[in-house]
């Protein structure tokens, strides 16, 4: 199914690679007027814009920094835009061994994955049109107890909770808030965040073939399609929900 985003304006935090980049690409293909993508690496952002074209605007922004988020808001205002959709997608995935976990590790993950999501929405909310949509990126690990992922899993469980409470907080403005929870997905975060080498990624793919009911690891495009559904008018009666896109791993 294709969705109509003609003349819509969206922000995608963490939009330079992986799922965020795929969301941006699909939005522009579906007619979006402008898509703002954020990230911490100017090189990755510039490469993304080279692929996406002139309707994509890159803004260097760390979601853990309130001042960066305010600068993002100012950039959107300078273009004279209001927003129709916020994809609060930026996040990191890192392992931690419980007994050796440091306070610095704790704050790093929660500052980006929890604080970053909360304040991304708070700062950008004045620009979001009534009747708009917010899509938060959670993860299937919020429902699983996987080894050495206690911090990451808890941070994503917080996102699921935000989905419910924000949907209620914003109901008078008819703003829909939903969560997208990917399963195993082959993105740069496997190497950059989880620090998996090629052999480990291959082993994960083989593991998915036997444990995921659909038998494969998703590509970013598979997840982005669901993100567009949640942001589209086709989902106009979907609110406060979580859509788990994991090939059936947590459901069957």
Active site residues: 152
14 touches 38 (CB < 8 A): yes
Residue owning tokens 């429902």: 143
Query: Cα 123–64–50 angle (5° rounding)?
Result: 85
Residue 102: what are its φ and ψ, rounded to 5°?
-100, 165
* Segment holding 85, helix H or strand E: strand 83-88
Give the other-Cβ count within 10 Å of 212's Cβ.
19
237 touches 176 (CB < 8 A): no
Q: Which residues of 57-85 are buried (b: 16+ CB within 10 A; e: fewer)?
A: bbbbbbbbbeebbeebbebbeeeebebbb
């Amino acid at each position: 199914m294709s969705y109509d985003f003609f003349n819509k304006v969206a922000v995608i935090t963490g939009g330079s690679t992986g799922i965020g980049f795929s969301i941006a690409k699909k939005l522009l293909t579906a007619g979006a007027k402008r898509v703002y993508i954020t990230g911490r690496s100017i090189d990755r952002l510039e490469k993304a814009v080279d692929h996406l074209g002139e309707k994509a605007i890159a803004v260097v922004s760390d979601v853990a920094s309130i001042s960066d988020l305010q600068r993002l808001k100012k950039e959107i205002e300078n273009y004279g835009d209001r927003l129709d959709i916020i994809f609060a997608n930026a996040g990191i995935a890192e392992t931690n061994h419980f007994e050796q976990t440091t306070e610095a590790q704790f704050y790093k993950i929660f500052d980006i994955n929890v604080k970053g999501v909360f304040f991304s929405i708070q700062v950008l909310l004045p620009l979001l049109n009534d009747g708009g949509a917010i899509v938060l990126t959670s993860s299937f690990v919020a429902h699983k107890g996987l080894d050495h992922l206690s911090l990451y899993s808890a941070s994503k469980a917080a996102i699921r909770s935000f989905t419910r409470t924000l949907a209620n907080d914003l109901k008078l403005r008819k703003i829909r808030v939903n969560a997208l929870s990917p399963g195993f997905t082959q993105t740069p975060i496997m190497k950059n965040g989880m620090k998996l080498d090629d052999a480990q990624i291959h082993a994960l793919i083989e593991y998915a073939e036997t444990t995921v009911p659909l038998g494969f690891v998703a590509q970013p495009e598979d997840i982005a399609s669901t993100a567009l559904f949640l942001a589209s008018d086709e989902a106009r009666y979907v609110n406060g929900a979580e859509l788990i896109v994991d090939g059936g791993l947590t459901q069957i």
